[in-house]
Structure 1
């Protein structure tokens, strides 16, 4: 029995030794030219996308023998290689690949020492952007554009796409200088200073397809025209200019000319108007100092409302002119005619007859638009040429002017 066991053990030892000999033969076949040496591979690989280009970067850590790299892509049909210069510390390699096709690319990076020994493969995926991405971009939308004053505007942007960096805009300012303005994607209310009343804001939106992208993409330019702007002339500043040839006296003190700019604060409709005294003739006029200069845009005339007799009747102005100046005198040569207007009765019925539409127009007041005015004026003259009732006195409940303040 013992002899049998010894024979088995001996047989096993012989088989093991034979197997080891085979392994040795295989190993020696692969290292017959020397021991295999692997170079440290690329570490901490990063990709930064761009427009038809891409940047690869990686770290060279502990291996001082790294002397060269080779990068493959496009199923290894394309490649680039270069020599590396090491320092004693950790080095960063940056590789910019230009003229790349817009697509997703798979990269393989190999490092080599001076003897040609290679690292194991290090891989990374990167995306290149181009025309397809470019044409997909839309300008940031805005909700509204309005004026803060005669010189500044505010654009209210809608929330931006996550890839929007901001909006770049340009315009010619009030000093005829080209101005560039940039607002980030987080900005909603965007104030733009010194913007002309007739200016145009050209803008385009900047996008980064990825946070670390090396290129910024821009949309084509769109334009925002200057927002309309007007203010109601401040009646707190108005005064009767009282020139010597004015027809500015009321029949009674409570029917005086200052009622024209009291904003109907006198709740007594029997007193809340200007009603000229007897003795004047038509045409006649009165002069108002508005307290500051305006480029006039429009005006409103409110007739008396407390009795049908005065609605499109009696002394309500039918045809009138508005004159303006900054040097008020009785010499008409110092004045500028800025508007000639005629009151229109909606129904066209004879004086004394009123439709519901006529009543509504009387209550609302009649608005008149001035032709564009380049100059600004502080003084206006209301010159009545004819009245609805053919009488020689004028009666008006309220006057209102709107324009662009020239002295902001």
Structure 2
């Protein structure tokens, strides 16, 4: 009896499931037929009127159009269609809540014909209004003219200005047996570009440089043969503490300055944390030999936050100075010290104090690379002076350092 009932129930379930499946397939097919019809959601009220009173303001690599919208309730947007120097057609749109179109992407200063349309909610376009624009010079050319490329330690340095803060790429190619291949690039919108590209040997290299924008407009090419300077990591086995009068006191006996070259980038007590004594905190150490300094990498101590370990927090230096001397006075004065770099840490995310992204943590874990002056004599002693940490005080919490240069 029980088995028969189960069989009956199973059959009813199968029949019901089959009916539901058939209904679902039918409903899906009906929905698809509706979608595939591609008919406007709003019926057309005919061809809309044209925009009026179009004015042109030419700007760097772009032109700005202002206009009067047609007096029609069903206008959805305004669009402009024009050709770039690459002969590619570009289309830009603006909503009916604005009376301005920004036409960008121009790589020349020639005249361009632009057709402006009003488009209604049924996607019917008006007759075009044709205007002529003549954009001003693309900022990539100013960046190119100001660009200088010089040898640097274990690489090259690209220096230029980008006062318009235009979004640019400086593409770098390298010659190999008469063929040019992509080598590296700088991608930025900052106004002052001073970027080192390292990891090169000291052999002469034939390099080519040009500037482009996101529309692939590009400048002429700068060709240059460059021989990078020699650079090596100064062995940490030669580093020594060199405490001078006025230097900061470590907050704990175990947090000595010598911890900065113990190979421990993260864990307590392998760090140096100074006391906050109400004035800039200074630590001093020597690297064992006179060296033509090139840069220093500083790893901040990963402070404890509510969300775990993190950077840009507590005693991590925010604004600080790096000084060097070949032979410092024993009284702790600054009379024979040279300012090698004035530094400021910038949090990639820009989030408020105590808030971090994965990008922030990654940047902190990688260490901060600070370029040092190359126009001074060889140095042996280094001072780090913290003028302001991320909590607003003066003490500093560091984990590791690595100095680079030419000790030969």
For the criterion TM > 0.5, the same-fold answer is no
How high is the TM-score relative to the length of structure 2?
0.43
How high is the TM-score relative to the length of structure 1?
0.43
